[in-house]
Structure 1
Amino acid sequence: MRRLAVLLLSLVLVSPVPALAADSPMAMIFSPTEEASVPLNEPLLVIGGAVNGESGGITDVDFSTDNGTNWTTVDAHGERWSVVLQPSVPGPLTILARAHTASTTGPVTVSRTVHVGGTTVPALTDETLLIFHDTDSPTINDPDAEAVELGLRTTVDRPGSLTGVVIRRGDYTGPVTARVWSSDGTLLMSQDAPGAAYGQRIMFTTPVPVVPGTEYVVSYYTPSGGYKVTENYFVGNLVQTPFHLPVNAGVYRYGGGFPTESWSASNYWVQPIFRP
Structure 2
Amino acid sequence: MRRLAVLLLTLVLVSPTPALAADSPMAMIFSPTEQASVPLNEPLLVIGGAVNGESGGITEVDFSTDDGTNWTTVDATGERWSVVLWPSVPGPLTIKARARTASTTGPVTVSRTVHVGGTTTPPFSDDTLLILNDTHSPTINDPDTEAVELGLRFQVDRAGSIPAVIIKRGDYTGPVTARVWAGGTLLAEQAAPGAAYSQRITFGTPVPVAPGTEYVISYYTPAGGYKATQDYFIGNLAQTPFKVPVNAGVYSYGGGFPTDTWNASNYWIEPIFRP
> What interval of TM-score do these two structures reach, taking the shorter chain for normalisation?
over 0.9
Q: Which residue of 2 aligns with 1:264?
A: 263
Deviation at 1:5, TM superposition (A): 3.0
Shift of 1:213: 1.8
SS of residue paired to 2:108: coil
Unpaired runs of 5+ residues, structure 1, are none
Matched AA of 2:267: Y
Match of 1:203 in 2: 202
Taking a change above 3 Å as real, the CA distance of residues 126 and 258 of structure 1, as seen in their structure-2 partners, is same
8 Å CA contact retained: 2:142, 2:228: yes
Whether the 8 Å contact between 1:162 and 1:207 is mirrored in structure 2 is yes
Q: Which amino acid aligns with 2:164?
A: G
Listed as ranges, the matches of 1:64-143 within 5 Å are: 64-124=64-124, 127-143=127-143
- Structure 1 partner of 2:171: 171
CA RMSD in angstroms, aligned pairs only: 1.1
1:210 Cα shift? 0.5
Where in structure 2 are the equivalents of 1:1-276 lying within 5 Å? 2=1, 5-15=4-14, 16-124=16-124, 127-182=127-182, 184-276=183-275
CA distance in 1, matches of 2:75, 2:126: 33
Cα 1:124–1:56 change in 2 (3 A) is closer
> Is the contact between residue 125 and residue 275 of structure 1 (CA under 8 Å) also seen in structure 2?
no
How far does the alpha carbon of each residue in 1:141-186 deviate from its partner, in whole angstroms, 9 at most, with x for none?
Answer: 000011110000000000000111111010011111000000x210
1:3, distance to aligned residue in structure 2 (A) = 5.9
Any idea what SS the aligned residue of 1:17 has?
coil
* Cα distance in structure 1, aligned partners of 2:233 and 2:118: 22
Report the TM-score when normalising by structure 2.
0.97
* Counterpart code for 1:260: T
State TM-score, norm by structure 1.
0.97
Question: Which 5+ residue runs of structure 2 have no aligned equivalent?
Answer: none
Residues 57 and 77, structure 2, Cα contact 8 Å, conserved in 1? no
Q: Which runs of 4+ in 1 moved over 4 A?
A: none
Offset at 1:10?
1.7
Q: Secondary structure at the match of 1:128?
A: coil
Whole-Å separation in 2 of the counterparts to 1:74 and 1:161: 37
Task: Report the number of matched residues.
Answer: 274
Whether the aligned pair in 2 keeps the contact of 1:126 and 1:275 (CA below 8 Å) is: no
Moved more, 75-84 or 10-19: 10-19
Q: Which residue identity is paired with 1:5?
A: L
Identify if the C-alpha distance between structure 1 residues 63 and 132 changes in structure 2 by more than 3 Å, giving closer, same or farther: same
How far is 1:17 from its partner?
2.1
Question: What is the percentage of aligned positions where both structures have the same residue?
Answer: 78
- Classify the secondary structure of the residue corresponding to 2:78: helix
Note the C-alpha offset of 1:126.
5.9
